[in-house]
Structure 1
Amino acid sequence: MDGVVRGLGGEVARGVELGVDRGGGREALSRVQLAGEVEHRILGAAGAPPHGDLDHRADHRYGDEGHREQAGDARRPVPRAACGRSRWRVCHADALYLHFGDPDTRPPRSLPLRPTRLGIIGLGAIGGSLARQAKRAGVPTIIGWSPWANERAAAAQQGALDDAPASARDVARAVDLLVLAAPPVANLDLLAALAPHLRAGALVTDVGSVKRSIVAKAETLGLAARFAGSHPLAGTHRRGFEASRADLFVGAVVYVTPAAGGEGAAREIAHFWETVAGAHAVMLDAERHDAQLAVTSHVPQVVASLLGVYLAREAPPGAGLGPGARDTTRLAASDAGLWTEILLLNRDVLLPALRALEEPLGEVERALEAGDAVALRAWLTRAADWRRGLDA
């Protein structure tokens, strides 16, 4: 779905991704800031009705009048029902949702989630960074657990946690939102083990890079209405709490993958990532997520590790490596145990992606064998144009 938001005088929000909800199916979500009187135009939406209504949310909750409640914000109030069906007065909305279809068929809206008690299971680079960032964002109570006592102690001593109990169950019993930040297989086990101990109404998410397995587990456990997977596209090849930092998620994309019937929970978790972590939340089906990440994340990891294996075997002893070799093998330093789990969990879609590498590799081999400078230059140019386009 492509979306463009235009004002009466032209485009008012360049590069905006719209959160589109067709009676319950969210396709995308992104932060936007709009100003003035706008109308929407949806491109490529077969059968889309010519009107919709606007649901706006800010960094905190809006009051009944549409005023921002966050202290110190001088922005103007946003009226809830402004203008008509095709135009609205919008003043700096941080998240824009367009809803289509009969209002009676839409899932009920719940209040934006900003937990007063946040629980984090796993205090490595991701979990530790989330604890630091939530503390900086003003979440009143953050409770964390790690299987390593020294990691719990470090997080508490450095002010990232308010409490670090010795049991993960104690965390689950105490919080409004529980974030599973352990490795993916451990998260599957933790979800099952902690489900009976969750507070009534508490929501759960995880931060793993493979989503189908844990979304299916949540559905099997009867947690579909309270769970949505999360995958922040942020991190480091370093590990442990010492690798965490308080700005890791600022500006990062976080994919949020709803369970069946859990669109409400997914919206609230997306709002948490946006308002507490400063990230850009994007709704994505778990199956589509895993297929996409197989190509954009898991194949690059395998290729970097492959190059590392090759250089370890073939580079002459004592040979120096320039920045090119160091840059292209950076991912090879990632945690082998973690990546073993990721690659195995996603192997059904990763294997076809890896086999697809045979074609471009064959192209460069044939060009070299034939001494074909034209073909070789064209092969290199395609890659160069793609890479330069990322920074354009």
Structure 2
Amino acid sequence: MRVAILGVGLIGGSVGLAARQRLGAFVTGHDPDPEAMRVGLDVGALDAAGTLAEAVADADVAVVGAPVGRIPEVVEAVLRHAGPDTIVTDVGSAKGAIVAAVDDRRFVGGHPLAGAETAGVRHAREDLFAGAPWYLTPRSGSSGVVFERLTRFLAGLGARPQAIEAATHDRLMASISHVPHVIANVLVAQAAVVLADDGTLPATGPSFRDATRVAGANTTMWTDIYLANRDALVDRLDDVVHRLQTVRADLVAGDAAAIAGWNDAARADREALLAVGLAGGTAPSCELRVAVPNRPGVVADVALALGHAGINIHDMTLSPSDDERTGEVALWVDADGASRAAELVAGLGLRVEGAP
């Protein structure tokens, strides 16, 4: 297997390390910064480095790790140089604009939920994606073969691929990642005003440290992310403002019952979110076999239906019929979600076998 990395940073470098060590891949790389390529070679993330065209030549999979605002143009450049069977994906944390800009059967947008406080390929890790969700955002007409091959590649890196609509992804990321960064910046600015006014500031407790850990994160990268996902981010910030105004009104009114209910609801919501996060990928797997017609987008439809329900596909294989008019998709999902997965797939008008 040959893998091309376009953008040799923490994520791209970690893809390279994992692909080399876990899949035995030959990894080529390109980055506008020659130093990034040199370090990538030094740390073993790359076997070779060169121009974009050289890196992409003969690649089975090309992973674009450019800044999110530049991803569409880099993906288009990769597609121009890539072969007809090359799978192209990206790792950007905002997907709507990228998916809308790129219309090519070889491309499926992606976003691994993995990272570190340190940046750069020097900090790349082979195990960065181990057990981590990796969102995929196929279009309705995405090639089933491409989606299957990409899913198997990402699973080979140790990740847990999950299909999701681009708009849903961006709204989710705004809620769980981008808004927290905005609020962290606001909190440290507020505390800094107190320091400026009073000249002293007591030692901060763990709540403040934890809530502001991401404040002032990489300016270039995060300015790009905020703007790339601005529509969803503004929508979620409006919701935050509304919720803060509600709490403010309860405080002004001295409504202890409302404040207590608000706090209890937050605890319950957090417990529910933690339960979802801790449950993923822990159950034994179950195989489902789905009979599908040979039409564009059918595999993407299945993957999106399961992804929307939070059901991870651990592995996937496609077996076309002799006449290539139909085929069978074998899916491996968590055993405790297999019955629900079968119901969802059957709801698409497809025949399912293997459900408990």
Is this a same-fold pair by TM over 0.5?
yes
Residue pair 1:144, 1:171 contacting (<8 A) in 2 also:
yes
Matched to 1:174, the amino acid is: D
Find the partner of 1:387 among 255, 265, 270.
270
- Per-residue CA deviation, residues 249-283 of structure 1 (Å, 9 max, x unaligned), is 11111111113421422232122111x21111111
Residue pair 1:118, 1:177 contacting (<8 A) in 2 also:
yes
Distance in 2 of aligned mates of 1:174 and 1:194: 12
Q: Which has the higher contact order (CA 8 A, sep 6+)?
A: 2
Matched to 2:252, the amino acid is: E
- Secondary structure of the 1:300 match is helix
Matched to 1:149, the amino acid is: P
Match of 1:342 in 2: 225
Q: Does 1:137 find its partner at 2:22?
A: yes
Q: Does 1:238 find its partner at 2:121?
A: no
Residue pair 1:238, 1:334 contacting (<8 A) in 2 also:
no
Match of 2:141 in 1: 261
Residue pair 2:250, 2:258 contacting (<8 A) in 1 also:
yes
Distance in 2 of aligned mates of 1:366 and 1:285: 36
Amino-acid identity (%): 35
Distance in 1 of aligned mates of 2:150 and 2:135: 10
- Secondary structure of the 1:254 match is strand
Match of 1:155 in 2: 40
Match of 1:282 in 2: 162
Question: Shift of the alpha carbon at 1:318?
Answer: 5.5
Match of 1:8 in 2: none
Matched to 1:386, the amino acid is: D
Distance in 1 of aligned mates of 2:23 and 2:239: 47
Match of 1:188 in 2: 72
- TM-align CA RMSD: 1.9
Question: Shift of the alpha carbon at 1:331?
Answer: 1.9
- Secondary structure of the 2:168 match is helix
Distance in 2 of aligned mates of 1:218 and 1:260: 13
Distance in 1 of aligned mates of 2:247 and 2:168: 31
1:167-182 to 2 correspondences below 5 Å: 167-182=51-66
- Secondary structure of the 1:230 match is strand
Match of 1:217 in 2: 101
Distance in 1 of aligned mates of 2:24 and 2:77: 26
- Per-residue CA deviation, residues 138-166 of structure 1 (Å, 9 max, x unaligned), is 3330111222222211221122211122x
Distance in 1 of aligned mates of 2:199 and 2:273: 36
- Of Structure 1 and Structure 2, the greater helix share is in 2
1:26-175 to 2 correspondences below 5 Å: 116-165=1-50, 167-175=51-59
Match of 2:324 in 1: none
Match of 2:90 in 1: 206
Unaligned 5+ runs, structure 1 = 1-115
Matched to 1:347, the amino acid is: R
Residue pair 1:211, 1:287 contacting (<8 A) in 2 also:
yes
Bigger mean CA offset, 205-214 vs 168-177: 168-177
Residue pair 1:117, 1:140 contacting (<8 A) in 2 also:
yes
| Number of aligned residue pairs | 271
Instruction: Give the TM-score taking structure 2 as reference length.
Output: 0.71
Find the partner of 2:260 among 366, 369, 377.
377
Residue pair 2:43, 2:122 contacting (<8 A) in 1 also:
no
Q: Does 1:332 find its partner at 2:215?
A: yes
Matched to 1:385, the amino acid is: A
Matched to 1:282, the amino acid is: Q
Unaligned 5+ runs, structure 2 = 276-356
Runs (4+) off by over 4 Å? none
Question: Shift of the alpha carbon at 1:245?
Answer: 1.4
Question: Shift of the alpha carbon at 1:229?
Answer: 0.4
Find the partner of 1:248 among 128, 137, 156.
128
Distance in 1 of aligned mates of 2:190 and 2:233: 21
Matched to 1:369, the amino acid is: V
